Amino acid sequence: MKKFTDVHDIGDLRAAVAEAMNIKADRFSFNTLGRNKTLMMIFFNSSLRTRLSTQKAAMNLGMNVIVLDVNQGAWKLETERGVIMDGDKSEHLLEAIPVMGCYCDVIGVRSFAGLKDKAEDYEERIINQFIKYSGRPVFSMEAATRHPLQSFADLITIEEYKKTDRPKVVLSWAPHPKALPQAVPNSFAEWMNATDYDFVITHPHGYELASEFVGNARVEYDQRKAFEGADFIYGKNWSAYADPNYGKVLSTDRNWTINAEKMALTNNAYFMHCLPVRRNMIVTDEVIESPQSIVIPEAANREISATVVLKRILESL
Ligand code: AN0
Ligand code: CP
């Protein structure tokens, strides 16, 4: 695998999940594959799970790891070509990227949507420049429009917990005070649409995701109706996608908070969230602390999805 930015890069999902289960049974089974190979993780944004789980995955495979937080100690980077660099930015991405590529064998990039310019975000300008100019295989640690390591971990988690072959999976918008990217819901939808699950998306009017991500999913504006008979509830906030409100918070209505009364409408559904989560905005204490909450095993599977992805990249070097 030469890059990992969306669901298509992983190929057959059954094979990917089977490989993940094998890795989970013995996560050190390929601990010499990464010998003398270096992973460089570049963060333009904060992270807890992604930095820890991806570093752990690299260690499982015997790799060396370098982590760079671009906003802490590196030169401020210009990302636009053609700019006269007389401001506060000391270095251009067009030099920084190939230089980073000199010191490693694989690059992971976290670069969130700016939520100001939809075209710039949806063209994936930052990670695509890494793919083009680094000379190394690149994988996404959440880019502007997708978070595939998260979605892969989510799929593994659903496969582990599902009680029927074709579970009903509901992606539910929930309130949050700040504008968040659409990357997690886009990506979750992309991966769910690649399965044969019964997949439903529920959100208030104005929060429609891009049609290429909604795909064949059913969209239900009545959250309670969406929850009926669900086997998995996947909570997440996102900001508006549709113009003219791109990147805006249209509602912080806590009537959309996921609570025990709504969970009671489901088929004793499991509650999932990628984390970090704001309690009593997205989900009540009661639900996230309930036995049906699988947010911690879901986060644990981030190590597994990252190990599979890095293993496949190493095998292609
Ligand atoms: C980010 C987001 O919604 O994309 C990262 C989630 C993994 N969340 C926040 O910034 C709170
Ligand atoms: N779920 C997730 O990617 O978490 P972090 O933002 O902490 O990495």
- pLDDT value for 242: 97
The span from the CA of 204 to the CA of 26, in Å, is 43
Residue 148: pLDDT over 90: yes
Nearest Cα residue to atom 4 of ligand 1: 181
Residue 73: pLDDT over 90: no
50 lines ligand 2 (CB under 6 A): yes
Over residues 270-313, the pLDDT tens digits come to 999 999 999 999 999 999 999 999 999 999 999 999 999 999 99
Over residues 121-146, the pLDDT tens digits come to 999 999 999 999 999 999 999 999 99
- Which whole number is the average pLDDT over 103-116? 98
% of the chain beyond a pLDDT of 90: 100
Q: How far, in Å, from the CA of 180 to the mean position of ligand 1? A: 6
| Ligand 1 atom nearest to 278, measured from its CA | 11
Nearest ligand by distance to the CA of 144: 1
The pTM is what? 0.98
Sheet hosting strand 218-220, strand order edge to edge: 218-220, 198-202, 168-173, 232-236, 270-272
Nearest ligand by distance to the CA of 141: 2
- pLDDT value for 62: 98
Ligand 1 binding pocket (C-beta < 6 A) is: 142, 180-181, 183-184, 274, 276
Q: How far, in Å, from the CA of 134 to the mean position of ligand 1? A: 26
- Which whole number is the average pLDDT over 246-256? 98
Over residues 170-221, the pLDDT tens digits come to 999 999 999 999 999 999 999 999 999 999 999 999 999 999 999 999 999 9
Residue 84: pLDDT over 90: yes
Residue 32: pLDDT over 90: yes
